[in-house]
Amino acid sequence: MAEKQHILVTGGAGYLGSIMVPAFLDAGYRVTVLDNFMFKQNPLAHVCANPDFNVVRGDARDEGLIKSLIKDVDVVIPLAALVGAPLCNNDQIGTVTINRDAVIMLTKQLSADQRILMPITNSGYGIGEKGKFCTEETPLRPISLYGTTKVEAEAAALERGNAISFRLATVFGMAPRFRLDLLVNDFVYRAVNDRAVVLFEADFKRNYIHIRDVANAFLHGLANFETMKNEPYNVGLSDANLSKRELCEKIREHVPEFVFMEAPIGEDPDKRDYIVSNEKIEATGFMPAHSLDDGIRELIKGYTMVKNSMYGNV
């Protein structure tokens, strides 16, 4: 029997990792997670019984620790990051050292045959041209420190080679380590609990993807690495390039009493506004399995259980 591939996931106890790590284990991979558990949660408790799972408490910037952990791994997935513009603005030094410098250090430590699957954000597109889809060829013009550090990390990984980069749309969906501060998750929470939201710059558009489809995209990349390597791929729902207003209209189909109003003054600190083409990854055979409607239904169930904001990044 062939030996199982071994994946190191830095930051593997975060929002994405709490769904991805069990998915990798279910698919037959060995997984080691490195995390500092800064959010004081135990989202991987349910996989501790799996002999193919290992966990290390530590910092992804610790060069000696990284050297020791990568000795026998085939693939590294650097999820460790401060995620989202507000959190990054609160800790700018941490953002640069974790989101960018730790990835650059990692690329220098890995041997040529070890693989990187790099998650970044499609917010690197910043402010797009009206009506024009951002493809992987579109120049990256990030407008936040978060976007900038992720774009620089992607460049380091792809330059080093033997890597795939996934430019993720805004993620939504329930997870053991939940985040309430993501747009779909946030708006559905407000619809369920407050029945109302005030929109700033309601026409700003962006793309969305379910958290389980993020895990599926990484599994797809692992399975098709040789044909996909050394390229970036947008990962989003092609039928969900929506403005905030359109997103609220969609949520109202599920929560009819939801009221949303547009503020005549004031502005959203998040200026991202773009639509994204996901044709490149779809051409490799990947298609998302979870719609925005699926996610809204799931979140409504989740908010029957979650009643406060202790799960936000900020």
* 311 within some domain: no
| Residue 310 pLDDT class (50, 70, 90 cuts) | low
The whole model's pTM is what?
A: 0.95
| Residue 30 pLDDT class (50, 70, 90 cuts) | very high
* 278 within some domain: no
The number of C-alpha atoms within 13 Å of 89 and in the hemisphere containing its C-beta is 8
Q: If we measure between CA atoms, which residue out of 259, 9, 22 comes closest to residue 117?
A: 9
The number of C-alpha atoms within 13 Å of 235 and in the hemisphere containing its C-beta is 33
User: Is 179's pLDDT higher than 80?
Assistant: yes
* 196 within some domain: no
More confident residue, 264 or 211: 211
pLDDT in tens, 200-225: 989 999 999 999 999 999 999 999 99
* 256 within some domain: no
Q: If we measure between CA atoms, which residue out of 105, 93, 98 comes closest to residue 69?
A: 105
* 73 within some domain: yes
In angstroms, the CA 238 to CA 225 distance is 23
In angstroms, the CA 28 to CA 154 distance is 27
User: Is 244's pLDDT higher than 90?
Assistant: yes
| Average pLDDT score over residue span 254-275 | 89
- Domain tally for the chain? 1
In angstroms, the CA 246 to CA 187 distance is 12
User: Is 134's pLDDT higher than 90?
Assistant: yes
Q: Where residue 35 sits, what CATH number does that domain have? A: 3.40.50.720
DSSP letter at 35 equals E
Owning domain of residue 101 = 6-169+209-236
| Average pLDDT score over residue span 300-306 | 93
pLDDT in tens, 93-118: 999 999 999 999 999 999 999 999 99
Q: Share the mean pLDDT of the chain.
A: 95
Judged on CB neighbours under 10 Å (0-12, 13-18, 19+), 121 is: buried
* 86 within some domain: yes
Percent of the chain surpassing pLDDT 90: 88
* 17 within some domain: yes
Which are the contacts of 274, defined by CB distance < 8 A and separation ≥ 6?
Answer: 122, 125, 126, 127, 128, 134, 205, 206, 207
